[in-house]
Structure 1
Amino acid sequence: MAHLLSVNIGRDGVIPGTHTTTGIYKEPATGLVVITSSGIPGDVIGDRKLHGGSDQAIYVYFQDDYDWWSGELGYAPQPGLFGENLTIVGTDSASTAIGDRFAIGDTLLEVTYHRTPCVTFAAKMGDKFWVKRFHRANRPGAYCRVLQPGTVQAGEEVVITPYPGERITVSDLMAFDVTKDIPLDFMRRALTTPIREKTRFKYETRLADLF
């Protein structure tokens, strides 16, 4: 049975070595936390070109993936380390597909895409090779849209409803981050899922250009 380990909210922070504001520094919250269609009120988003929006309103990371990272990092990652809003126990990136739904209390989320590492993430981790390292691990966590706003609280059960169509996992998608040669069949399959609109447009455009 899956459950919500932690709800994490970002406060104003600064990317090391710059004056750029970031919300990647997140801390666990106590009590009930409101989730709207835009995410968690008060959660800082520094770069709205790459983060946030209705298709990426909530970022989820999985404790099962953190357990793997403990062996790589040499310490046990604490909830919020990777900048996620929700830390969930009981599933992982390799098992999570586009269209899967997470019901937590009266809140309903739908998986739309995977997290792509950036230089801000690398700066936070203090590792100039972090982007490549995170890609190699292929444990990206999941972005979600909010189908039903509500409130959530650490400790609540997470009811996972698998997407009934094509199983395109967030790990499958991340594997194509570093290549332009995405198989046509993969793009066609992905387009049958409720994938985020930015990627839908990209795949539709690529396929249209072939004919």
Structure 2
Amino acid sequence: MPQPHVLTLSSGRSAVPSGGGRPTAIDKQPVDMFEVRDPGPKRGGLGSGVVGDEIGNPRHHGGELQAVYAYAREDQEFWEQQIGRPVPSGGFGENITTRGVEATHALVGELWRIGDVVLRVEVPRIPCQTFAAHMGEPRWVRRFTEAGRTGAYLSVVTPGVVHTGATIEVERPGHDIDLLLLFRAFGGDLAAARRVVDADVVHPDVQAGLVDTLSRREG
């Protein structure tokens, strides 16, 4: 595996898609560098953790736990084979396209040090209809879910400027709760949810939501 690094950076402006619908900033464009900061809460905060990057639907996107979205180039290459066409870096609406970094199996609480910036792995991406419309592929939400190549939403621990090509130093915590397991828990897998809850390593808001799910589903 190559030295972990930032392959590309991307940022977007909110706009109404050509086919109509809600404004979205999923169509991101490459940039050489950007500044990251803690955007605060999802509702009433600054939206994206990337300065200048916009959020089309702040009800479901942005906020401290979804401040920066990262996706592995290796996973995009998997999708290129699946759909039979190129997927450009930034093509999944990610802010950071990585090379040599494990995203799907990143551990909750894992720290990514990029120069002076520190980002923390928080939650996986849950595919939505906006993502499906952007991709234009049949049954995209289901296919993305089944593949489980979620990418990583990160919070901003230490703000600063991120540059294309910068090395990513990964510091892993001492547990085995990865984003794929959390993704399965979000999708209704009660065994996965129980493992996550028992480990008590996710953000308190995420923990409370899973505890509530278990109490309702397990009786």
> Normalised by the size of structure 2, how large is the TM-score?
0.86
Worse overlay, 91-100 or 46-55: 91-100
1:60 aligns with 2:70: yes
Asked if structure 1 preserves the Cα contact closer than 8 Å seen for 2:194 and 2:214, the reply is no
- Gap change, CA 1:85 and 1:65, over 3 Å in 2: same
Q: How does 1:15-34 map to 2 (within 5 A)?
A: 15-30=17-32, 32-34=33-35
* Cα deviation, residue 197, structure 1: 4.1
Q: Matched residue of 1:14: which SS?
A: coil
Deviation of 1:27 (Å) = 0.8
Q: Which residue of the other structure, out of 22, 40, 54, is the alignment partner of 1:44?
A: 54
Q: Which runs of 5+ in 1 are unaligned?
A: none
Q: Select 1:143's aligned residue among 131, 141, 153.
A: 153
* Alpha carbons 2:5, 2:101 under 8 Å: kept: no
Contact 2:115-2:166 within 8 A present in 1 as well: yes
Of residues 177, 187, 192 in structure 1, which corresponds to 2:196? 187
Give the equivalent residue in structure 2 for 1:205: 212
2:179 aligned to 128, 145, 170, which one?
Answer: 170
Q: Structure 2 matches for 1:107-118, cutoff 5 A?
A: 107-118=117-128
Structure 2: 5+ residue runs without aligned partners? 40-48
Aligned match of 1:14: 16
User: What CA distance in whole angstroms lies between the structure 2 residues aligned with 1:71 and 1:161?
Assistant: 31
Higher RCO (C-alpha under 8 Å, 6+ residues apart): 1
* One-letter amino acid matched to 2:60: L
Aligned runs of 1:66-77 on 2, under 5 Å? 66-77=76-87
Shift of 1:50: 0.9
Structure 1 counterpart of 2:42: none
88-97 vs 144-153, which moves further: 88-97
Task: Describe the shift of the 1:182–1:15 C-alpha distance in structure 2 as closer, same or farther (beyond 3 A).
Answer: farther
Residue 77 of structure 1 deviates from its aligned partner by: 1.5
- Aligned residue-pair number: 207
Structure 2 CA distance for aligned equivalents of residues 41 and 158 of structure 1: 20
CA contact (8 A) 1:55 1:197 kept: no
